[in-house]
Structure 1
Amino acid sequence: MKSHHVITALIVIVLWGMNFVVIKIGLKGIPPLLLAALRFMFVAFPAIFFLAKPKVELKWLIAYAATISFGQFAFLFSAIAVGMPAGLASLVLQAQAFFTVGLSALIFGDKLKTSNVIGMLIASLGLVLLGSASISASASQVSLAGFGLTLCAALSWACGNVVSKKIGSVDMLSLVAWSALLPIIPFVALSCMLDGAAVVWHSLTHISMSAVLAILYLSGAASLIGYTLWGKLLAALPTHVVAPLTLLVPVVGLSSAWLLLDESLNTTQIVGALVVMAGLVFNVFGQRWIDAVRRKVLV
């Protein structure tokens, strides 16, 4: 990687890692589904006036919007709203990597490598530890609900990855912007149903400056800028070089939540987080290590 590639990658990692802290700030005074609606409203507008409509069949555009946009963020925002720590959410969400591998094996017949299986087992152990820590926490029901909702968000993201694979090569920024149109009305409608139209109206008419800045960050920095830079990295470098960089997102998420929100993890959560990270790392790099050991043994 050249120096400008490294700088670009670091910018994306910081933008996406800080995303979870900003969500928590934005949720102060705004219901989760309304916050999601506002995020996607500003992702779509005014971007769609400057970007050509992606060359994608309508059914796949709807499928992408339903999974990546609606499903992922409905669950994620709700998880953080009911008490899931922002830093921990950034880590648990990375379970999408394993869900993606499993779904691809089922749908596309992709073969699981030894490193995938071992990585999944290691990360699963870490998730069990995190889940047990949530159950034993003082606000167990809220913490466990947040943990479960975050896993649902990871599964939705994974389903979106499968849809992306089905779509194939496409202008990613255009896809993100145009697909953002579809979940806006469902998000608002659900927020009115679950939170009440009066709460939604009050949130919109009494929105704070911190919430406005959070929405601008989520839509502009994390979505449009983040995905644009990420797309450039994918176009310039091999996928196997770029993809592992997402492992640094939870590092930024956990550390920024600790610094800015004063979030701390208990011993079991720290161990669980480290085990999940180890599983993610082994999933990406483990096959190289296994092959290297095999070559040494054969020699």
Structure 2
Amino acid sequence: MVRNDLLLAIVVMAIWGFNFSMIKLGITDVHPLLATAARFTLAVIPAIFFIRRPNVAWRYLFAYGFVFGVGIWGMASWSITAGLSSGMSSVLLSSNALISMAAGVWIQKERISKRKIIGAVAALVALLVLVSATHGNITPQGLMLIMIAATCWTIMGMIVKASKTTQAFAFNVWGMLFAPLPLVLFAMSIYGSDIIFHAIAAWDMKTTIAVGFQAYPTTLFGYWVWNRLLIRYPLSMTAPLTLFVPIFALISGYFMFGEILSLAQVVACIMFLVGIGLIVKPATHKDPQQIQPSLS
């Protein structure tokens, strides 16, 4: 990878990691489901008017928008208000690699290499340590929500694969068109219509900055750069870069909100990321089985 592309990739990983702190900033007073709906509304409009709709069936775009909007980022944002620290949310969302590997084995009957098995065992042990050695940064509800988000990331990958799209960025933008309304309806079904008026009353400049950051640098710019890198370089170069995201998320969580990990959790985080790295590392000629990596 040429130097300029590598630097640009690291910038995007930093943006994606910092995004978890911005999520926490934006959902302090506004419910995370509504803040996430606002994020995708800004990301779609006006971009959708300048991007041609991808040549795929509408059902794939709807399914992608619903899973990506409600299942992944709605639940990931909610997990933070449910007691999960922003940095830990990013780390645990990376467990989607474990879920994807399990789905490949059980559903698609894939064979996995010894390296991936070692990585999975290491990640699972680290996950147990992270949960058991909680330092006030993990709650049962938050853990449940982030695991739903991680599972939905695997489902999202299946939707993209089933659509057979070759227009990744256009598919992402048009799919996000179907994210805001389900998020709003979901929030109203739980809390009633009063939640809308509460969000309007509580909305301030802090929320606007946080949502704008999630919509533009994180979603539009970040995915544009990432898709460009996926086209230009093999997965063996791009996949490991996503492991920078939790690192940047932990750093930004510390400086913005004073989020601190216990020593056991620091060691477990390192072990977890190493395990995930062994899973997402693309296959070589001696390791024919490969599982598609996913982003945090």
The two structures have a TM-score, normalised by structure 2, of 0.90
Q: Judge conservation of contact 2:236–2:282 (CA < 8 Å) in 1.
A: no
| Counterpart residue number, 2:21 | 21
Larger Cα-atom Rg? 1
**Equivalent-residue separation in structure 1 for 2:52 and 2:104 (angstroms):** 29
Does 1:234 pair with 2:203? no
Question: Which residue of structure 1 lines up, in the alignment, with residue 203 of structure 2?
Answer: 207
CA distance in 2, matches of 1:287, 1:119: 14
After superposition, give the CA deviation of every residue in 1:73-119 in whole Å (9 maximum; x if it has no partner): 12111101111000111111001112122223344443212212111
Measured after TM superposition, the shift of residue 52 of structure 1 is: 0.6
User: CA offsets per residue over residues 6-36 of structure 1, 9 Å max, x none?
Assistant: 1221121011011100000000110011111
Q: Which residue of 2 aligns with 1:193?
A: 189
Corresponding residue for residue 293 of structure 2 = none
Q: Tell me, in whole angstroms, the C-alpha distance in 2 between the residues paired with 1:151 and 1:188.
A: 21
> Matches of 1:165 and 1:106 in 2, distance apart?
17
Per-residue deviation, 1:37: 0.9
SS at match of 1:98: helix
Residue 73 of structure 2 is matched in structure 1 by 73
Aligned-pair identity (%):
27
Q: 1:59 to 1:106 in 2, by over 3 A?
A: farther
Distance 1:62 1:109 in 2: 28
* Equivalent-residue separation in structure 2 for 1:234 and 1:285 (angstroms): 14
Distance apart, 1:248 and its partner CA: 0.7
Distance 2:224 2:4 in 1: 15
1:297 match: none
Instruction: Return the alpha-carbon distance in structure 1 between the equivalents of residues 23 and 169 of structure 2.
Output: 22
**AA partner of residue 200 (structure 2):** L
Q: Deviations over 1:57-88 (max 9, x none)?
A: 12222222232222111211110111100011
Unaligned runs of 5+ in 1: 292-299
- Quickly say closer, same or farther: Cα 1:105–1:164, change in 2 above 3 A: farther
Asked whether the 8 Å contact 2:30–2:202 carries over to 1, the reply is: no
* Amino acid in the other structure paired with 2:54: P
Could you tell me which runs of 5 or more consecutive residues in structure 2 were left unpaired when the two chains were aligned. Answer: 288-296
Number of aligned residues: 286
Deviates more, 1:189-198 or 1:81-90: 189-198
* DSSP-derived class of the 2:133 partner: helix
Give runs of aligned pairs for residues 1-299 of structure 1, distance below 5 A: 1-134=1-134, 143-285=139-281
Compared with structure 1, are the counterparts of its residues 129 and 151 closer, same or farther at alpha carbon in structure 2 (3 Å cutoff)? same
Task: Provide the rounded CA distance (Å) in 2 between the counterparts of 1:122 and 1:81.
Answer: 28
Q: CA deviation at 1:264?
A: 0.2
CA distance in 2, matches of 1:15, 1:138: 26
1:296 aligned residue: none
Mapped contact 2:39–2:215 kept (Cα < 8 A):
yes
- Which shows bigger deviation, 71-80 or 98-107? 98-107
Which residue of 2 is the match for residue 294 of structure 1?
Answer: none
Partner AA of 2:9 in structure 1: A
Tell whether the 8 Å contact from 2:69 to 2:180 is kept in structure 1 after alignment: no
Displacement of 1:138 after TM fit? 5.7
Structure number with higher helix proportion: 1
1:235, 1:287 → 2: CA distance?
A: 18
CA distance in 1, matches of 2:118, 2:192: 46
Q: Corresponding residue for 1:295?
A: none
